[in-house]
Structure 1
């Protein structure tokens, strides 16, 4: 049988096994199916398996291994490095597995592995419930949660992974595992920050919380007033209750009613304050900030799910991001951060962001008996700086990437050493190890050797199986 005939026969067999759809390069819809959020990524997988069940995922994994195809796993497709798609391999596309079932009495949500943050938020909103989600509604919940999960509600409700109660996982051999604190606890521990290294999570159970009211304030300052606003926000956030979140964000002034006409298309400094309480509570707590002279504002109560959509960028723009988690934010660091905003490419969709951590993030969750603290040393950092480069024209590629790298370099004196891996692309294995800590990394590598000894799931911020890691060191 000719190789092409063998390939067609194999694909026919895969199509017969899957309840979902199998897409190859000559199929209508292939280009749409392979397109992800970052417009800089242009990869052509040999097969896209649009799975509808855990059984579909298992069949796709076995097919890829039988035919020596690299595997990429796609949820929301937001990885800045394009980890959701590959060249010449197989993509396990989970987007059809997006169901969300909420139990308001138990305050839990069962979520399909391909759901987005927005789909979770809209499902919990009718019950006045919520949990920590990403800062963009189109982000995939799976990759977001597995690497930690940082969002506006984290100071009140903790990181997304802190709220992970159970998960269904398809492992590298095509087997299925249900994991919780009592079932496969080593794997359960590893899923709290270890990313997609251990299998394909087809279903998550997350804890959700009452959120009957939510409010926000966005204050706009001239860039020359940015250092004063940044110091004021820093001092405010350091003593604020857990109900307060937000960030300081330099951005291009958008054409919105609350933005003065002369600031549209120009660099502005924004202070975003979120509150898991009423507008009156927010105004009282944030009075020192609101009282600073500023150019524009919007202060309102609104559904949390609506805020989640406010900063969404359209797919297809060009993206390059990084982050530094900081051990402190003294005046010198504030001045450096604000000066770097002046070199940000404008007008683009880029943002220069400073997030406060603390609260429930720093305290960490109540760890179930028998488990160690989750492998996220960056959670104790009080601050994060996140240069978020987003632009349209390829002619801006070099200056945008140079700006992001320069932010990292200039903020190094205050770096805590580890970082939230969802905020970065491929920045070397040392960065991955540092972001778990060497002790955690060794334990994760040992768990990886149990569930994925051949490193099948390696298109990620990779944890090498212990045997491979030892061989590499030797």
Structure 2
């Protein structure tokens, strides 16, 4: 791949030619706004593309792809910019930025929504909740719809309604040669299978059509906190409590130091805690009954689990993951929360130093596990739990120590690893990508990659090389 430098007349002339037919904005390193538009969510990533193409629509996306392909440029594609390893920006090449493409059209009668690729989860929630509906999606509202969906889409109502991809009805895709195709169960079904979990390997998805589900406007949701020293007892209770819980109940276990937020009593800030955050995707009165044993267990230091608007709950973790901090993740799936896993969780949680380092242990099962395993590229539907281990710091100071903490935690869990959620990977190499999909699906994805992107034009992702 070539670089698009800023010091040749040829490059300047080429960009001017593109600009003449480009409805969006083209930003070069010397232009105002360049530093703003090249930044991504993870502040530890600092890359400088040669050209940023901020697309206003599909025509711009096609033009940008053709431009980059003709000049053999390295290409990064950004929706919301939340790629953990920063794969939504590159050095020297071309950044195709879908951020301006934020169109959302909700059809409440049909129960569907058409969503452009620059949309963020909170923006989609805002439109769908107007009608008491939602797309099952993630837990941080400034995450992009596109990247979350293409990797699978975990979220607060997944056990009742399944993954985000389980509600995807069709996609519009710009392929590596700049062609426009639509994929669904009935049209380009092979491509539709692949984009449901296979990430951005096969093209740039510009539009998504989702089937909506009813939710809210109020849900019973929120965290209950206990001192970290109580973690073994809390987790053993938790394991038993969720053993036969209804699909409407979704939980995430969190370990961290208590953040300094308006809802937190000052005397708790900085204390090591284990928290169980619940969300009940059903009637409020049923939710209050189901979560009562959680609220009654042991001696919580804080209980914020209560009826609240679904929109409010969706924002619960936003303040813990703002733009610009330094983030590092290790992840794995495990089959069960057995005593050995609980011991690892208790031990490593007590070693947290940074005020923003944490783990999230996602409860799986329910509708996720009942869906047909072979229907989509997503792998790991039979996982019991998914670990997301965050070694984070606000700046570069102390970041390496937090990264090492995350690695040590992950290594201690290694005897229990089953698979891994592809959206939680850093840049970890081909073997880890293979683990995310399993051998059979990985081989099928490689064949699909050869059909739609034989030169691996779209390579800045959790990359699947062509067969």
TM-score with structure 2 setting the length: 0.95
Q: Does 1:136 align with 2:140?
A: yes
Question: Does the 8 A contact of 2:391 with 2:399 survive in 1?
Answer: no
Residue matched to 1:364: 371
The Cα of 1:308 is off from its aligned counterpart by: 1.6
Unaligned runs of 5+ in 2: 1-5
Counterpart CA distance in 2 for 1:196 and 1:220 is 38
- Tell me if the contact between 1:40 and 1:317 (Cα under 8 Å) persists in the aligned partners: yes
The match for 1:298 is 304
CA contact (8 A) 1:249 1:352 kept: yes
Tell me whether 1:48 sits opposite 2:48 in the alignment: no
Aligned residues of 1:172 and 1:451 also touching (Cα < 8 A): yes
- Between the aligned partners of 1:108 and 1:236, the Cα distance in structure 2 is 35
Corresponding position of 1:308: 314
Match of 1:401 in 2: 403
Q: Is the 8 A contact 2:392 2:399 kept in 1?
A: no
Q: Distance in 2 between matches of 1:178 and 1:215?
A: 38
Encode CA deviations 1:431-460: one digit per residue, 9 max, x unaligned: 101111111111111111111110000000
Are 2:241 and 1:233 equivalent residues in the alignment? no
Alignment of 1:60-459 (within 5 A): 60-212=64-216, 213-256=218-261, 258-292=263-297, 293-312=299-318, 313-347=321-355, 349-364=356-371, 372-416=374-418, 418-459=419-460
Is the 8 Å Cα contact of residues 222 and 313 (structure 2) preserved in structure 1?
no
Aligned counterparts of 1:256 and 1:193: Cα–Cα separation in 2: 35
- Structure 2 distance, partners of 1:256, 1:90, is 39
SS in 2 for 1:391: coil
Spell out, residue by residue over 1:320-368, the C-alpha distance to the aligned partner (whole angstroms, 9 max, x if none).
0121100121112111112111122232x22112111000111116x9x
Kindly state the Cα deviation for residue 3 of structure 1 after the two structures are TM-superposed: 7.4
Q: Which runs of 4+ in 1 moved over 6 A?
A: none
Once the two structures are TM-superposed, the CA of residue 462 in structure 1 deviates from its matched residue by 0.3
Cα pair 1:23 1:47 within 8 Å, conserved: yes
Provide the residue aligned with 2:464 in structure 1: 463
1:21 CA drift (Å):
0.3
In the alignment, the residues of structure 1 paired with residue 257 and residue 7 of structure 2 have an alpha-carbon distance, to the nearest angstrom, of 53
CA distance in 2, matches of 1:66, 1:246: 48
Gaps of 5+ in 1: 467-474
CA contact (8 A) 1:283 1:290 kept: no
What do residues 201-227 of structure 1 show as CA deviations (whole Å, max 9, x unaligned)? 000001110113322031110111111
Q: Distance in 1 between matches of 2:53 and 2:123?
A: 22
Secondary structure of the 1:301 match is: strand
Q: How many residues align?
A: 458
For the aligned residue pairs, the C-alpha RMSD in angstroms reads 1.5
Residues 51, 93 of structure 1: 8 Å contact kept: yes
SS of aligned partner of 2:200: helix
Deviations 1:145-202 (A, max 9, x none): 0111111111011011111100000000000001110110000000111000000000
Write out per-residue CA displacement over residues 37-73 of structure 1, whole angstroms, 9 at most, x where no aligned residue.
0111000000000001111001001111112211100
What is the alpha-carbon distance in structure 2 between the residues aligned to residue 342 and residue 185 of structure 1?
A: 48
Q: For the Cα contact (< 8 Å) 2:28–2:34, is it kept in 1?
A: yes
CA distance in 2, matches of 1:185, 1:278: 37
